[in-house]
Structure 1
Amino acid sequence: MTLHYMLGIDTGGTYTDAALFSETDGLIAKAKALTTRHDLSIGISGALENVLSASGLPADAIGLVSLSTTLATNALVEGQGGRAALVMIGFGPEDLRRDGLADALGADPVIFLPGGHDVHGNETPLDMTALEAILPELAANVSSFAVAGYFAVRNPSHEIRVRDFIREKSHLPVTCSHELSSKLGGPKRALTTLLNARLVSMIDRLVGACEDHLKHRGIHAPLMVVRGDGALISAAEARLRPIETILSGPAASLVGARYLTGLEDAVVSDIGGTTTDVAVMENGRPRLDADGAVVGGYRTMVEAVAMRTYGLGGDSEVRFDDRGLAPRIDLGPRRFVPLSLAAMLHGEAVIGTLERQLRSAHVGRHDGRFAVRTGVPDHLSAGLQPQEATLFARITDIPVALDQLLTVTQQKATLDRLVARGLVHICGLTPSDAMHVLGRQGQWNLQAADLGMQVAMRQKDGTGKPIAGSPEELAQRIVDRLTRQSAEAILSACLAEDGLADIDPARSVLIDRALNRQTGIARFTLSLDRPLIGLGASAPVYYPAIAEMLSATCAVPEAADVANAVGAVVGQVRSTVTIFVTSPEEGVFIVAGGGDNRRFAEEEAALAEAEERASQNALEHARASGAADVVVVLAREIDAPEIEGRRKLMEARIIATASGRPRVSASV
């Protein structure tokens, strides 16, 4: 019997998920392992071993592996990545001021070369003298190159010549802008190419580590990676175009939501440890961001899901505002390591401290909080200021209580900088701890969660009374607050999709009255026009109440906790290619893209050539990305206004989309 088992893996902020899937039997097994941020391959291998153990299948039964990852997104958000040199052909220094390119470039080198093309693909001669002179020095100081040419999407020949020259002389990775986008807008395309070049070595290491572990376990299967629009690409393509993997994780969750629920139209909300991601699905496909994904403050030309992310999750910081008579609870946006998880990992170091703080006669401002190193390599702590280095040296791999770590007020800001650098985690009270106290979660240490709640409820309200009468009461208020903030986040995303982004649900009096079901002569109600799909490990305990608040039907699939991993493996390979036809003068039609530019005397002949090129290129790209049984769909977009009573072709765009399921290696 021929088996076709597929393995989906998703690396999240807290857990790495794995799902073993069969196209005939559906989900076979699922498993998790704690994400190891300093070395993601450890978490990936742990999840793989756990899911194989849960399934009872041999490793060589797996015929396809697909990976969704937040690595590229996190790297851009955190300003990380390799040093890259940007080569701009036909542009000038003034172009750096557009689309945030100069800010993104920072201290990385840029070289301007004469050359480029016009809108019809006609060239200005290319001069590589400046590049030839400086290339040996650059090659010794950067990890990759980005090449962007003026109107390269209409004629990429100059980019290709520069790329081939750099590769031959330096043997370093080179990314060309025409390989990433067919859209006009040179500086934004250059920005996208620069960010891609910075990510090449990082994604290469991740994919390499995953491939090495698969090989070690005897899994000789194709490795795919989820793109930001939910489609799959081969690992080899991801290595060349890693920027396409930004928003990979959220995209995978939407694909998983569609598969697990069968719903075509829905609002999808995925709650993790760190964030809540909200997106709208229509006709079985996620809405895409027409202007390109925004990551790390930069708008790229990468087509990705229109996902809105909020700093709200099961591991969000619980903050108490005691300035009023009744203390207000707010959650996030920072992620803490839950006390229950910290105690599971470190035991007495956490529990003993919480017990000590409970016995103290005075309530300390830092009670219930700890600092612990994240475990990233030592070289990432280079460049710390003296006060930062001194404080960092006192923090170890065992949580240390903040009431003992911070001796002067100024050290709190120093600690926050270490957290921002990714060197230190703060452990503290979270909604996950509240769920443990209420008996709705139980995977970590209940004693620490209960002690943390007792420590927190020692705080006084405006009348001088404790803020809660019992740990269970405080835990319920924290969960109620998560319900309300989640409802506001979902509403905010939906209103933005409806063109009402200026309405803030957290500040609107009318929305507050509607959510609270407040009575009055004028009674306000609101609801969603489609079901709410809740995803994430904690979705079953949170989303029924959230959906009820929003007067929406709630759909939480059985495998909601591994929806991203399922989405990583059930998606399709999809490749889209656009070929252009322009008419610079009457009776002349130029086909640009997908090969050398060609001139035609007849419009229909040019359009037929463009359709053939688009189909062939899309087909080749899809097959290179690992697709089998590829289907190609063509679309024409023609701008041809009437000018003085005569039709004039301005531009025709022939768009070919090739799609198919990834090839699966069979085991017998």
Structure 2
Amino acid sequence: MAILLGVDTGGTYTDAVLLRDETEVLASAKALTTRQDLAIGVGAAVSRVLEQAGVQPGEIALASLSTTLATNALVEGQGGRVGLIYVGFREGDLERHGLTEVLRGDPAVCIGGGHDHGGGEAAPLDMAALGAFLEQVGDQVSAFAVAGQFATRNPAHELAVAEAIGARTGAPVTCSHQLSARLNGPKRALTAVLNARLLGMIDALIGRAQDRLHDMGIHAPLMVVRGDGALMAAEQARLRPIETILSGPAASIVGARWLTGAQDALVSDIGGTTTDVALLRDGRPALDPAGASVGGHRTMVEAVAMRTTGLGGDSQVHVVTEGLGGGVRLGPRRVIPVALIAAEASEVVHGALDAQLRATVPGELDARFARALPGVSQAGLAPRERDLLDRLGAGVMPLQALLRTRMDHGALGRLVDRGLVQLAGVTPSDALHVLGRLDSWDAEASAKALALMVRRRVGSGERLAPDAPALAELIVNQMTEQTVHALLEAAFVEETGDFGAPPDVLARHPLVRAGLDGHRGIVAVDLRLNRDVVGLGASAPAWYPAVGDRLGCRMILPEHAGVANAIGAVVGRVTVRRSGTVTSPAEGRYRAHLPEGPEDFASPEDAMARLESHLRADAGAAAAGAEAVQFTTDRDIRTARTEAREVFVEAMITVEASGRPRMAS
């Protein structure tokens, strides 16, 4: 009998589950996610689940972790400060390729160098320009990203830059060719920047989680869920954290399949920060052929074809004052629910709420609070940001007291983006507390916060809602509508028909709304979702029955839906894919593009055999934590017909190594 431990660190809760032999759930438990040190929440959840099951730590044969940390960080624009070295490109390419937006003010430099399509050196590497850049920013960033022109055909310049950075700064470096074997330098650069931005965050999570488990007496191998649902060794995840984006959502898909046996269904997982929707087809989740897209960024990461929306139980509630009726809008940013921040700092929160309720005029910052997160790098902070952080100190503070000038607002936004400060405000979770459908934290604080929000006026001059319960119902109804939109968008993406508009436009089209309402006039309009929906997440029972009614579909809410991610984390397989390219730079010459540089052969078969041998060795080494590893090879060979004969053009070789993770005795 093998006992397996699955852990999922979500935006609000950390879940732990114990399985026996991948066939039976022994116990599950939850603890609040501790953003300042995620290992505290991991340890609390694991301790509780071990106690519930009566299992000793030494009995655990395998531990596996899924996390929404990377996904949430990209959705919320958080992460470390990064320096980008763009080799062989021009300054204007940063703006033209969208990298300026991704960098968000982080330093970047374009230096001479790079290679051509065949892997030959296009220009010498400008080490002097690199040295000047490192001298200027070396102590202002937490990591570096390096992207060279045609680096997948010859990574020599990327490797030389990485070596120089290591020698001068000691900072971690992400090379773009290590993340993808495909062309498209700008997209590889974007992926490298995001990977570098996540390095410190994921390294801290995994390192602290391993330490906490060891301290508890759990010495089993630790695996981490990738964005495609496969497992990877913790050591690899620390080097390639970008591959953990959509880790939590991918684990939820694996968990949904295990819990329900569903073959064809939409799976919708609501957490504190995001709603993640994917399609199960023939029992398998499809991978996104264009690469994972999170937070508006299209990466080169292989991941489940998932639509991630900034909508969850902890989404910030915004008051819409435009129009006569007004209303509310949810997300995309996550904030701490007022009920939760009050449970942690009752005197400060209730004191501020009571004072704001006594005021005769409602304020823009009513029921909003901030707290600092310790242990996050403060490198590169401007003086105003540092002053604001010092003013905030180690406690909780109302924004009314914290923000003194307009410029303070911008500084606070930058601190939030860096993950140095967390905001608290009204959320859908607060609405559930007011309605008595949730009692996890301080319902009285939620009621006060919503009482403050209803005082806001809409375009007609009327209050937003008559009272706090009425506003709570308004927020719940808005959650239903935005969840319906998220599911419809995912459905329209998968539709084969041409409806003449993008999925997001279709989901909000008046005809779609009329169809959901069952419009009956001269024209009768009906619309429903023609797939079952598997609803996952701890709060799914609170939200999803109304969503199923609205969409006219069967809503499946399985037992253990609240810990599906943790279950999916431990029932997956170790799967490693490695890809490379063979080209033909001249007639009779065939080039295998290898990490140590290109090698030429007299026949395409020899070149492909050499590349495949290297890929099998690399994939096998990466899958070393698995048992009974099996290899499969895919050769995508492109040819062209000239003068009545087939001519080799290019081949993409992909080797996959797969097996179950090795367990402790």
Asked whether the two chains share a fold, i.e. TM above 0.5, the reply is yes
Shift of 1:531: 1.4
Count residues with an aligned counterpart.
Answer: 658
User: Does residue 438 of structure 2 align to residue 438 of structure 1?
Assistant: no
Structure 2 CA distance for partners of 1:326 and 1:388, relative to 1, 3 Å:
farther
Structure 2 CA distance for partners of 1:134 and 1:53, relative to 1, 3 Å:
same
CA distance in 2, matches of 1:4, 1:157: 46
Which residue in 1 is equivalent to 2:531?
Answer: 530
Shift of 1:304: 2.3
Which residue in 2 is equivalent to 1:486?
Answer: 483
Which residue in 1 is equivalent to 2:252?
Answer: 253
Identity across matched positions, percent: 46
CA distance in 2, matches of 1:506, 1:132: 48
What are the residue-to-residue correspondences of 1:224-373 with 2, within 5 Å? 224-295=223-294, 297-321=296-320, 326-347=325-346, 349-351=348-350, 360=358, 362=360, 364-365=362-363, 369-373=367-371
Which residue in 1 is equivalent to 2:46?
Answer: 48
CA distance in 1, matches of 2:124, 2:9: 44
CA contact under 8 A between 1:85 and 1:138: conserved in structure 2? Answer: no
**AA matched with 2:240:** R
508-517 vs 332-341, which moves further = 332-341
Structure 2 CA distance for partners of 1:325 and 1:45, relative to 1, 3 Å:
same
Which residue in 1 is equivalent to 2:15?
Answer: 17
CA distance in 1, matches of 2:142, 2:322: 52
Report SS of the residue matched to 1:648: strand
CA contact under 8 A between 1:454 and 1:470: conserved in structure 2? Answer: yes
CA distance in 2, matches of 1:147, 1:317: 36
Shift of 1:538: 0.7
Structure 2 CA distance for partners of 1:385 and 1:296, relative to 1, 3 Å:
farther
Which residue in 1 is equivalent to 2:5?
Answer: 7
Shift of 1:552: 1.7
Structure 2 CA distance for partners of 1:137 and 1:627, relative to 1, 3 Å:
same
Which residue in 2 is equivalent to 1:214?
Answer: 213
**AA matched with 2:41:** G
Structure 2 CA distance for partners of 1:40 and 1:390, relative to 1, 3 Å:
closer
Shift of 1:539: 0.3
Report SS of the residue matched to 2:662: coil
Report SS of the residue matched to 1:221: coil
**AA matched with 2:239:** L
Shift of 1:435: 2.2
What are the residue-to-residue correspondences of 1:49-198 with 2, within 5 Å? 49-76=47-74, 77-84=76-83, 86=85, 88=87, 96=94, 99-101=97-99, 104=102, 108=107, 110=109, 112=111, 114=113, 116=115, 118-122=116-120, 130=128, 137=135, 141=139, 144-156=143-155, 159-160=158-159, 163=162, 173-198=172-197
**AA matched with 1:532:** V
CA contact under 8 A between 2:111 and 2:126: conserved in structure 1? Answer: no
Which residue in 1 is equivalent to 2:569?
Answer: 568
Structure 2 CA distance for partners of 1:170 and 1:87, relative to 1, 3 Å:
farther
Q: Structure 1 regions of 5+ residues with no counterpart?
A: none
Structure 2 CA distance for partners of 1:409 and 1:661, relative to 1, 3 Å:
same
Note the alpha carbon deviations across 1:607-659, whole angstroms, 9 max, x for none.
45554444444333322xx2211122222212112123221111122222121
**AA matched with 1:658:** A
Shift of 1:323: 5.8
**AA matched with 2:250:** A
CA distance in 2, matches of 1:210, 1:663: 19
Report SS of the residue matched to 2:652: strand
Note the alpha carbon deviations across 1:382-437, whole angstroms, 9 max, x for none.
846659946973787245485x7778999877766765565555544432233234
| 1:447 counterpart (431, 437, 444) | 444
TM-score normalised by L of structure 1: 0.85
CA distance in 2, matches of 1:457, 1:579: 59
What are the residue-to-residue correspondences of 1:355-394 with 2, within 5 Å? 360=358, 362=360, 364-365=362-363, 369-377=367-375, 380=378, 383=381, 389=387, 393=391
CA distance in 1, matches of 2:445, 2:509: 37
CA distance in 2, matches of 1:344, 1:555: 33
Report SS of the residue matched to 1:37: coil
Shift of 1:537: 0.9
CA contact under 8 A between 2:590 and 2:604: conserved in structure 1? Answer: yes
CA distance in 1, matches of 2:617, 2:16: 35
Report SS of the residue matched to 2:266: strand
Structure 2 CA distance for partners of 1:428 and 1:279, relative to 1, 3 Å:
same
Shift of 1:513: 1.0
CA contact under 8 A between 2:353 and 2:449: conserved in structure 1? Answer: yes
CA contact under 8 A between 2:38 and 2:209: conserved in structure 1? Answer: no
Bigger Cα Rg = 1
Structure 2 CA distance for partners of 1:508 and 1:36, relative to 1, 3 Å:
same
CA distance in 2, matches of 1:91, 1:391: 38
Shift of 1:326: 4.5
CA contact under 8 A between 2:10 and 2:69: conserved in structure 1? Answer: no
Report SS of the residue matched to 2:648: coil
CA distance in 2, matches of 1:419, 1:190: 24
CA RMSD of aligned residues (A): 3.9
CA contact under 8 A between 1:381 and 1:423: conserved in structure 2? Answer: no
CA contact under 8 A between 2:492 and 2:506: conserved in structure 1? Answer: no
Report SS of the residue matched to 1:303: coil
CA contact under 8 A between 2:580 and 2:652: conserved in structure 1? Answer: yes
330-339 vs 558-567, which moves further = 330-339
Report SS of the residue matched to 1:649: strand
Which residue in 1 is equivalent to 2:593?
Answer: 592
Report SS of the residue matched to 1:628: strand
Which residue in 2 is equivalent to 1:200?
Answer: 199
Structure 2 CA distance for partners of 1:587 and 1:75, relative to 1, 3 Å:
same
Structure 2 CA distance for partners of 1:545 and 1:123, relative to 1, 3 Å:
same
